Amino acid sequence: MTQPGRELQQAVTVGMATLTGFLMASELRQGDIVAQRYRIEHLLGMGGMGLVYQAWDNELNVPIALKLLRPELASRPDAFERFRQELLLARQVSSPHVVRIHDLVRHEAAWMISMDFVDGESLERRLDREGALPADEALRIAREIALGLAAAHHRGVIHRDLKPANILLTHTGEARITDFGVARSAGSTGITGSGVVIGTPAYLSPEQARADPLDGRSDLYALGLILYEMLTGVLPFRNGTAAEMLAQRLFRSPDAPDTLKPGLPTIAVQLCSALLEIRPAHRLQSADEVATAIASGRLAKRSSGQRRRFRRLGVALAFALSILAVGSVLVLRPPLLDRIIDSLQVTQAPFDLAMLPWRVDPDLLAAPENAGHAWHAAAEAAYVLLQAQGQSIEPIALMPRQLTERSLQALGFDSETAMRHRAQLMQTLNVERVLTVDLRKKGDGAILRVSLSHADAPDEPLQAEAPITSLTALGDDVSRLSTALLSQEGVQWQPAVQLASLQAILRDELPVQGIVDPAFWRARLESDLSNPPSESALQTAEQALSALPENKDLAAQRVRSLALSLLGDEQAEATLREALTSGPDPVLQYQLGLRLLDQGKDAEAREVWLQAAEIDHNNPEIWFQLGRLAIMTGDASTAVEDYLLRGLMLSNRVKDRRAQARITNAIGMGYRSLGQPDQAIDNFERSAKLWQQESQPDGEATALLNLGSELSLQGRFGEASAALGRAETLASELGDRSLLADVENDLGVLYEEQGHFDEALRSYRSALAHRQETGDASQIISSLLNVGFAYYQLGEFDNAQVYWQQAETQASQSRDVARIVQANHAKALALMARGEFPETARLIDEQIQQAESLQLGEDIPTAYALRAQWSLLTGDLNAALDASRKALALFEQRNDARGASEMRLLQMEIALDSLDPRAWSEAATRLEQLPPDSAEQQAKWHLLLGRAAQQEAPEHLTELLEKARVDAAAAHSLPLQAETLLALAMQHDALGDSTAAVGLLQQARELVDSYPSVDLRLQLILASVRIRSPNAPSDYREARSLLQRIGPWRHAFQLHLAAQHLSAPLNAEALTSAVEARQTLLQRMPASMSTHFAEVSQRMLDQPKASP
């Protein structure tokens, strides 16, 4: 195979020869008069479109620049007319920062463009000379470029080839954009009719590289690259070949410029980020915005969908675009693209022989009365049967049909082209021999020619030919000639096509009777392979098992193993392994991987698929499965970079839309796991559109389901609702209860995120009903857990307990230990809310023991976190601190930021309850270094800061508590909303506003009535007693009854202390209980905190009128 580098060099050499001829033929001399108007002064240089002269306009008496166009631009009238129209469009652009085009003129046989003359140098030349520019100057130049672009974009003109060479700097440093000669109106793709993408490789936008429709945002991306280069002295994508750099640009944003040059102004770094977004919708949307941002020194706030951080995710270089650079034009040519990509891929495993698809003479295909179709059908059927037979021959290794055909597609070859390039083909396939079959018209009949090429002399094949007597004899004729040629090479294979098999293939009917030819059944099964198998594939598999005897014949054994795999038979793994002992077979290896995955043998499945990929590396399905498995096992980065992007490239190459849709959806899942929601959403949207184009409603519904779920998590509820609504419609039309259940489940999540817990409960219950009808035990358990959580959020703890108990029962019956642990966790939440503390402790201890013994990595930190919460609730600060530290360490090991923040918040609560300012300061500092990002955790944070301010800085308390109130409402958390109202009530009481305090207390009371958690009820009573509400005495009596039932409570000391203001005999009882509660707290407090707490709490007892 010709190496890509040599082809590139040959192309450049040809291009340079053309340019040399152009220079010699077109040179103008000083003083020459052009177009009876322009006097040539001297040659300025050569641009991407031709020679550039400085000239004098004799009519206007001004200096101008005159660009002599290269002759190939005018060689085709239609292309030149399009160019002329685009030039006239660009001529309308008027700005002090754009080099204005004057006219298109003709001189003898040449065409020229006259334009403003700029006395200075290009930005490219200055960067070459000086490297990075001072940041303020780089920003000034970028602003002037943006102003020039704004003028063009307002006229509907985009540049398409913005780069430093096309930015001219006057002697005063002013920037002007030139070379609008390749500009086009917005909406064009940036690709010519001949398939050439216009632009300079280093400065192409992602959408230009994909040949997508362009608008002004493509120029803004190029401006971002130019700004980055001015700031750092280098381009952001600079490592690797041009193809590899383009591939990087398609799938990631660059590192921030201040990683290369620290100390850059914030606006410069932010501007690069905003301009170099992969998706145009996430960039700044106009050049005016860029100019305004630079002038003001700050970037206007963008919506959450537009914000992003610089991504450091590497990209698989296998998904590369190859280029052929001629001057400043990037030419994307599929054959070269594929050859460069092939050089990046693994080496093909060797085979002895490859049989190419048969070539049928076009004259035969054009035969009248459907005879042409008969020729094609017979040739295809015989070819398929011989290939199927060859999968089980020994000792020769025949390259599988699918592998051969995918390799041809990768090269861009059909059978006829492949015959003309045997040497390149055999080098690519890495085979010793290639067998080709050619059916040709001769006179009134037809002849058959079989050729056998050897790697040592590929262009000197052995050949044999014979007249074709009949279509039904075609298989026999090919077999006879092939056997003769192979025997000359010492290959002992006698291919044969059974007539009954050939006729059955041509009839294409089910059921098939009386055929015991393994080649026939292999061909039929391989023609309908999908995952999951179609109904027809399952029917064929059952017939194959009935037709073929269970014996040691290798061919029959391989077919039977394939059929058993498609049927999901428990013997499939063993029979596949046995069949593969005789040699590799990528079809069977792929099936073995599926069976291993079904059994949870992830590592073995991965190893089998990697082995299959070494043989059949052009198979997108293998890379899809590897990517899917990597995501499932927590390695999403490898999934996207190494597997899925390679699979997508391969499916794009062969235009397999279904594979594209499936892999794109998986890439979305990968980006979701990597915490990159914008990329996830983009890929889910693409997948849904591809499935829609393929009229595959089940695939579209699945992609929409993922899209709706991700949009919901990002707070884009309107879009999420639309996506899930469409998915629900498709699932209903399909009558797919499993899919309907998934949609209803995600609708439940959507309603939950919006705080619509009643609607969430309805959706979860609907999902449960569908899953109970389908009988999927695992999904039923998930739905039972979800319904329970919906009830829990509504404060219906008894109902939640019922569903969680059902979930535990079903998990036990299914021996699903992980779900048992999750159900017990949920049950513990309900018991804790109801104040059944001893039973809660028992369940939590069981959960920790089970999770640790079974090494359930995700459940162990969750169990310790629950233990910490329970210990804090019961006032055991020592146990709470110990459990929270264990949970925090485990969450950090798993990079679970939300879990880690939860534990840091809990440690702040422990410090606050200990009344130890040193412990509080340490805990608060740790959280400030890694602040929480969820609304619920931010509400808790502000609430804790407010409680601390009550003791240290009362003037800030109201502000902090109002922030907490807003966050709690945004999080739709009833408990947090109630706690915040209670804190505000006590604050207003402290400020002397008793009316407001009582009003806030009443609002909190209504929330607590709807969410009757024992802890929340006791907090309500504590606030009622502190502000001396009219209900304080009766509330305190209720609290004493509750505390007698539940045992120790974290705020019992403060409650009893506050109750000393009540009248006798409650005040005396309160004092006794306060002393007891204080002693209980001291006994279960860390030693580092107990001394300080003892001193402070004693002073509080000695001064009962002081607020605790």
Catalytic residues: 161
Q: Which letter does DSSP use for residue 457 in this model?
A: E
Within 10 angstroms of residue 953's Cβ, the number of other Cβ atoms is 11
- Determine the Cα–Cα distance for residues 126 and 915; give it in Å rounded to an integer: 64
The number of helices, as runs of H, and strands, as runs of E, in the chain is: 49, 18
- Determine the Cα–Cα distance for residues 315 and 320; give it in Å rounded to an integer: 10
C-alpha closest to that of 386 among 469, 295, 287, 502: 502
Which helix (H) or strand (E) element contains residue 623?
A: helix 620-632
Annotate 87-135 with three-state secondary structure: HHHHHCCCCCCECCEEEEEEECCEEEEEEECCCEEEHHHHHHHHCCCCH
Residue in the structure block whose two tokens are 């280098």? 234
C-alpha closest to that of 34 among 108, 115, 118, 116: 108
Residue in the structure block whose two tokens are 């990517």? 627
Within 10 angstroms of residue 689's Cβ, the number of other Cβ atoms is 14
Buried b (16+ CB within 10 A) or exposed e, 596-627: bbeeeeeebbbebbebbbbbbbbbbbbbbbbb
Measured over the CA atoms of residue 220, residue 221, residue 223 and residue 224, the dihedral's sign is positive
For residue 687, the SS3 value is helix
C-alpha closest to that of 875 among 1066, 1103, 1054: 1054
Strand stretches in 283-394, DSSP E = 324-326, 329-331, 351-355, 359-360
- Determine the Cα–Cα distance for residues 151 and 1015; give it in Å rounded to an integer: 64
Q: Which two tokens stand for residue 453?
A: 């090429």
- Determine the Cα–Cα distance for residues 489 and 499; give it in Å rounded to an integer: 27
Please write down the long-range contacts of 47-52, taking CB distance under 8 Å and 24 or more positions apart: 47/165, 47/179, 47/328, 48/161, 48/165, 48/179, 48/200, 48/327, 48/328, 48/329, 49/73, 49/179, 49/181, 49/182, 50/22, 50/26, 51/23, 51/26, 51/27
CB under 8 Å to 1024, separation ≥6 — which residues? 1001, 1031, 1032, 1035, 1036
Are the beta carbons of 185 and 203 closer than 8 angstroms?
no
CB under 8 Å to 386, separation ≥6 — which residues? 355, 475, 478, 479, 495, 497, 519
- Determine the Cα–Cα distance for residues 582 and 609; give it in Å rounded to an integer: 18
C-alpha closest to that of 310 among 400, 224, 426: 224
CA atoms within 13 A on the CB side of 683: 26
Peptide bond into 262 cis (omega under 30): no
- Determine the Cα–Cα distance for residues 357 and 616; give it in Å rounded to an integer: 17
Q: Which residue type does 86 have?
A: E
Are the beta carbons of 439 and 446 closer than 8 angstroms?
yes
For 258, 491, 885, 936, the CA distances from 929, given in Å and listed in that order, are 22, 72, 17, 18
- Determine the Cα–Cα distance for residues 647 and 618; give it in Å rounded to an integer: 8
Length, in residues, of the chain: 1108
Buried b (16+ CB within 10 A) or exposed e, 773-783: eeebeebbbbb
C-alpha closest to that of 216 among 178, 190, 179: 190
Are the beta carbons of 914 and 906 closer than 8 angstroms?
no
